[in-house]
Structure 1
Amino acid sequence: MEKIICGIQQIGIGVPDVQEIWKWYRKFFGVDVRIFEEAAEAPLMTRYTGDKVQARTATLALSMEGGGGFEIWQYTSRDTEKAKFEIQLGDLGLYICRIKSRDVKASYEFMKSKGAKVLGDLKKTPHGEPHFFVEDPNGNIFNVVQEHTVFQKTKFEGKTGGAAGVMIGVSDIAAAKKLYADILGYSTVEYDETDVFDCFSDLPHGDKKVRRVLLSHPEKREGPFAPLLGPTKIELVQAIERTDAKKIFKDRFWGDWGFIHLCFDVRNMDELQKECEAAGFPFTVDSGSTFDMGEAGGRFSYIEDPDGSWIEFVETHKVPVMKKLGWYINLKNRNPKKALPTWMLKAMGMNRVK
Structure 2
Amino acid sequence: MEKRKVICGVQQVGIGVRSVEEAWPWYKDVFGVDIKILGSEGVAERMLPYTGGKPQPRYAILVINLRGGGGFEIWEPKGRELNYIQFQPELGDYGIEVCKVKSRDVRAAYEDMKKKGVNILTTPTPGPDGKEHFFIMDPWNNMFDIETDDYCFYNEDKNTGGNNGATLGVSDMDKSIEFYGAIMDYDKVEYDVTGVFDDLKGVPGGQYKMRRVMLTRSKPIEGPLSQVLGTSHIELIQRLDGEGVPAPRKLYEGRLWGDPGFIHLCFDIRNMEEVRKAAAAQGHEFVCDSGKDFKMGEADGHFTYIEDPDGTLIEFVETFKIPILKKLGIYLHLENRDDSKPLPAWILKCLRFMRSK
- TM score, norm. by length of structure 1: 0.98
Listed as ranges, the matches of 1:87-126 within 5 Å are 87-126=89-128
The amino acid that maps onto 1:337 is: S
List alignment gaps of at least 5 residues for structure 2. none
List alignment gaps of at least 5 residues for structure 1. none
1:203 and 2:203 matched: yes
CA contact (8 A) 2:222 2:341 kept: yes
The amino acid that maps onto 1:289 is: K
1:330 and 2:349 matched: no
Q: SS at the partner of 1:192?
A: strand
Distance in structure 2 (CA, Å) of the matches to 1:38 and 1:283: 24
CA contact (8 A) 1:15 1:80 kept: no
Distance in structure 1 (CA, Å) of the matches to 2:78 and 2:42: 9
Report the Cα offset of residue 220 of structure 1.
1.3
Distance in structure 1 (CA, Å) of the matches to 2:194 and 2:348: 41
Counterpart residue number, 2:47: 45
Counterpart residue number, 2:289: 286
Counterpart residue number, 2:182: 182
Distance in structure 2 (CA, Å) of the matches to 1:77 and 1:280: 36
Counterpart residue number, 1:237: 237
Counterpart residue number, 2:216: 216
The amino acid that maps onto 1:33 is: I
How many pairs were matched up?
352
Q: SS at the partner of 2:46?
A: helix
The amino acid that maps onto 2:301 is: G
Listed as ranges, the matches of 1:27-106 within 5 Å are 27-106=29-108
Report the Cα offset of residue 229 of structure 1.
0.1
Distance in structure 1 (CA, Å) of the matches to 2:126 and 2:184: 27
CA contact (8 A) 2:44 2:58 kept: yes
CA contact (8 A) 2:182 2:278 kept: no
1:173 and 2:168 matched: no
Identity of aligned residues (%): 47
Distance in structure 2 (CA, Å) of the matches to 1:79 and 1:231: 37
1:301 and 2:304 matched: yes
**Residue of 248, 253, 262 corresponding to 1:250:** 253
CA contact (8 A) 2:224 2:341 kept: yes
Counterpart residue number, 1:149: 151
Distance in structure 2 (CA, Å) of the matches to 1:103 and 1:294: 35
CA contact (8 A) 2:122 2:200 kept: no
Distance in structure 2 (CA, Å) of the matches to 1:127 and 1:273: 33
CA contact (8 A) 1:11 1:260 kept: yes
The amino acid that maps onto 2:329 is: G
Listed as ranges, the matches of 1:271-282 within 5 Å are 271-282=274-285
**Residue of 138, 141, 161 corresponding to 1:139:** 141
CA contact (8 A) 1:74 1:80 kept: no
Counterpart residue number, 1:8: 10
- TM score, norm. by length of structure 2: 0.97
The amino acid that maps onto 2:248 is: A
Residues 12-43 of structure 1: CA deviation (Å, up to 9, x unaligned) = 00001111111011111101100011100010
Q: SS at the partner of 1:121?
A: coil
Residues 258-316 of structure 1: CA deviation (Å, up to 9, x unaligned) = 00000000001101101101111110001112201130011000000000000000000
Q: SS at the partner of 1:120?
A: coil
Counterpart residue number, 1:261: 264
Distance in structure 1 (CA, Å) of the matches to 2:144 and 2:246: 25
The amino acid that maps onto 1:67 is: G
